[in-house]
Chain A
């Protein structure tokens, strides 16, 4: 494990990614204790303030301190996005790898069904799931996970098809291993590298998808401090103060960049050959 960490930190992307994701994690864990103001405390006299010593990142349309809201919102935003991505990715990876392993008609059936699901835009898919199951955060998470699955299944299947032809898979079949062992232990570890990279890019999509769901009234509701919600709320006040829009957008971008860099670092560190 320490060996793995050392390899991760040796590459510049890995080190920087770890740093940014580490900072975000600090905000996730301790965010609500570090806020200088209450995230929902309105100050009618200090609306649309630019960044200053009193309000480091300025205030929004109700005079709420943006820094406090960002710190407070980190937990729900990042944890939800990461959880949805991980569930969606793992599900898709197992589906795609399993499909590649089975081959033949089963593969054809799974992938054509997958194509049919992919034809529905992921936002519509998520909307459908939420409206079927009822609107709350847990269902929104599930909806996004399901929306991510088909494309992850495609990516992992294409990688798994080349792994399927390798002799170590043939060797496993020849000694009579079960399908679950072959998919999970022989194939999946060799498929994982591109999936991890893809997954880290998906985290930022997930943040935005959550924001969209919230915007449509199917996810987090005002006055919640979800970052995506903050962006969509700030949209209307852009002409009064662009800071309201900029800070949560920057936070989302930083999260995306951090996870992307971490993904690059992980890809190298996960490969035992380097």
Chain B
């Protein structure tokens, strides 16, 4: 193999950031190479240095970055020897990048055509008129139906999937040698993500560009990448052909990552006693956003509210785990908020024989029985309160006369497997998984009968997610609380739920038993959703049993 076969070579590269009191090492002795036309998957959890690697290749590092004398070669060009001026010619033309969130990687004040044409004018020397025509062709190429209109649109006038297509069109615009994809589908819905992945696969086949595909999702990489490198704390612990790496992982960390991915056929719940009367029944609950303004009333104008969820009816038995899935904007969280009194709603929620028709019916007993855990532990714990105060609130509100609050907090911390010394800490001194455990502890301190989990694992790393789910199921067995588990991770919900509700644009499509969700007689939307899901890595490739 000669040098010219290589699109990218990274040799002995290390990177550290200057921080207060020394250096934080991010990458250590990285050796990577990508052949022309090859897709290298780079997998790792947050903080493993994936994104720093991408920045290092793009030569776009923060001011406090300190590098060793490792080399980065793009084809025959030593990127570390380039001046900033030379690099700006290389970026976009020979190496380009697709970012995670299309909402922030497009300039909201420029038309899409201007953003796409700019790249062509800058790097391919086209005139603006030629660039505009070429841009239209490019947009048609990435599967956008009306490229001429699209060119004139502003970013906020299109959906997330369309935006990501435009970003991809821009990245491919100058036929670069290498494209870096930094989690390009993480911010998208399951179905849109699948379409983007198909588009990527098609374009990759056609152009034969080399790709560095950064992701935390092993299952996804097992489908897209030719080779996979596993990054742990700045060190590549394992690297190899995709099929081989998933079949016989060598390093413990890779094994742990593969084992941590949720697998729908490994059920974590015990069957439910279906004879008991329902704990909650939600009847025709509709949530509308916005309100009729005084001016509308005065002028007798018609007013059309935004519908959050439309006439949702469902029941939950004591101790049942109900999964709710659907893409963003489907009304999952709206329903959760209505049930916890964060949204006004029309309709009836019958909780254990007590009818609740509005916020004023939600008394202290209802509030105690129904607890919610949010997606982002960063946002759901007040950054200015110590853990002790955060955990003491539910006890002060509901737990009078049930023993010493300090002892109960200590016992709960032990239950969620955190050291008792954490009571004196602030939330920012904890890791993401630990914070989510605190949020879980807060919910369970009031001895709830229904816990609503709103995407509680989606902000966490795979291995952390597995341990949080394990904790949640353990608490489920011990307390017998019913769960409403809202998620977009269908593999996960098939593992832990008794029944799964599918929502689409505010409507409840159907509710099915978790074991039977994949049956062929399901609703068309449910089938579409399940087809878009990437099956877990080990289910297809591995023959070795985990555990």
Counting CB contacts under 8 A, is B17 at the interface? Answer: no
Q: How far is the CB of A87 from chain B (nearest CB, A)?
A: 23
Determine the residue in chain A with the shortest Cβ distance to B381: A168
* Contact yes or no, B341 A174, CB < 8 A: yes
Q: Is the CB of A272 within 8 A of B428?
A: yes
Partner of B380, one of A104, A168, A185, A273: A168
Map CB proximity to B onto A167-183 as digits: 1 under 8 Å, 0 otherwise: 11011111111000000
Q: How far is the CB of B462 from chain A (nearest CB, A)?
A: 23
B36 within 8 A of A: no
| Max chain B Cβ within 10 angstroms of own Cβ: one of A104, A170, A171, A272 | A171
Interface check A166, CB cutoff 8 A: yes
Interface residues of A in 240-274 (CB under 8 A from B): 272-273
Flag whether A190 is at the interface (Cβ < 8 A): yes
Task: Evaluate contact between B384 and A173: CB separation under 8 angstroms.
Answer: no
- Chain A residues with CB under 8 Å of B446's CB are 175
Q: Quick check: which of B77-85, B107-115, B213-221, B368-376 contacts chain A, the rest being far away?
A: B368-376
Indicate if the CB atoms of B379 and A166 lie closer than 8 Å.
yes
Contact B397 A167 (CB under 8 A): no
Q: Does A222 contact B (CB under 8 A)?
A: no
Please encode chain A, from 6 to 27, with 1 for each CB lying within 8 Å of some chain B CB and 0 for all others: 0000000000000000000000
CB-CB < 8 A to A185: which residues of B? Answer: 385
Interface residues of A in 171-222 (CB under 8 A from B): 171-177, 185-186, 189-190
| B522 proximal to A (CB < 8 A) | no
Does B300 have its Cβ within 8 Å of any Cβ on chain A? no
List chain B residues, Cβ under 8 A from A189. Answer: 382, 384-385
Interface size on B, residues (CB 8 A): 30
Given contacts A186-B382, A189-B384, contact A174 B428 (CB under 8 A): no
**Does A175 contact B374, Cβ atoms closer than 8 Å?**
no
Complex contacts, B367 vs chain A, CB 8 Å: 174-176
- Contact code string B163-179 (vs A, CB < 8 Å = 1, else 0): 00000000000000000
Known: A166-B379, A173-B342. A272 touches B374 (CB 8 A): no
Q: Do residues B291 and A170 form an inter-chain contact, with CB atoms below 8 A?
A: no
Q: Are A177 and B426 in contact (CB under 8 A)?
A: no
Report yes or no: A171 in contact with B362, Cβ–Cβ below 8 A. Answer: no
CB neighbours (8 Å) of B393 from chain A are 172, 175, 177
Which of A172, A177, A273 interacts with B383 by CB under 8 Å? A273
| Contacts A104-B291, A176-B364, A176-B367; A171 near B397 (Cβ below 8 A) | no
**C-alpha gap A162/B379 in the complex (Å):** 11
A190 touches B383 (CB 8 A): yes
Give the Cβ gap from B362 to chain A, nearest Cβ, in Å. Answer: 7
Q: Is A175 within 8 A of B426, CB to CB?
A: no
Q: Tell whether, in the assembled complex, residue B379 and residue A175 are in contact, meaning their CB atoms are under 8 Å apart.
A: no
CB neighbours of B426 from chain A (8 A): 272
- Return the contact of B397 from the options A166, A173, A176, A186 (Cβ within 8 A): A176
From B291, B340, B381, B383, contact of A174 by CB (8 A) = B340
Given A167-B376, A273-B428; A173-B382 close (CB under 8 Å): no
Q: Mark B315-343, 1 if CB is under 8 A from A, else 0.
A: 00000000000000000000001001110
Q: A174-B340, A176-B362 are in contact. Are A190 and B384 (CB under 8 A)?
A: yes
> What is the CB-to-nearest-CB distance from B287 to chain A, in angstroms, rounded to a whole number?
15
Contacts of A172 in B (CB 8 A): 393
Compute how far the CA of A154 lies from the CA of B163 in the bound complex, rounded to whole angstroms. Answer: 36
User: Given the complex of chains A and B, what is the CA–CA distance between A189 and B446 in angstroms?
Assistant: 25
Cβ–Cβ < 8 Å partners of A175 in chain B? 367-368, 371, 393-394, 397, 446
The answer on a CB contact under 8 Å between B394 and A167 is no
Complex-state Cα separation, A177 to B341, whole angstroms: 12
Tell whether A171 pairs with B384 under 8 Å between CB atoms, given A104-B291, A272-B428: no
Contacts of B370 in A (CB 8 A): 174
- Expressed in whole angstroms, the Cα–Cα distance for A176 and B371 within the complex equals 10
Q: In the complex, A171→B367 CA distance in Å?
A: 11
Known: A175-B397, A273-B428. A167 touches B374 (CB 8 A): yes
Distance of A186 Cα from B375 Cα, bound (Å): 19
When distances are taken between beta carbons in the complex, the residues of chain B under 8 Å from A166 are: 379-380
Question: Roughly how many angstroms separate A273 CA and B337 CA in the complex, as a whole number?
Answer: 30
Which residue from chain A places its CB closest to the CB of B362 in the assembled complex?
Answer: A176
* Cα-based distance from A177 to B385 in the complex (angstroms): 15
* Smallest CB-CB A-B distances: 7 pairs: A176-B367, A167-B380, A189-B384, A167-B379, A167-B374, A174-B340, A168-B382
A-B pairs with beta carbons under 8 Å apart, 23 shown: A166-B380, A167-B380, A168-B380, A168-B381, A168-B382, A170-B337, A170-B372, A171-B380, A171-B442, A174-B341, A174-B367, A174-B370, A175-B397, A176-B362, A176-B397, A189-B385, A190-B382, A190-B384, A272-B383, A272-B384, A272-B426, A273-B383, A273-B428
Q: A167-B376, A174-B342, A190-B384 are in contact. List 12 more A-B contacts (CB 8 A).
A: A104-B291, A167-B375, A170-B372, A170-B374, A171-B372, A171-B442, A175-B397, A176-B362, A176-B397, A186-B385, A272-B384, A272-B426
Q: Which residues of A contact B (CB under 8 A)?
A: 104, 166-168, 170-177, 185-186, 189-190, 272-273
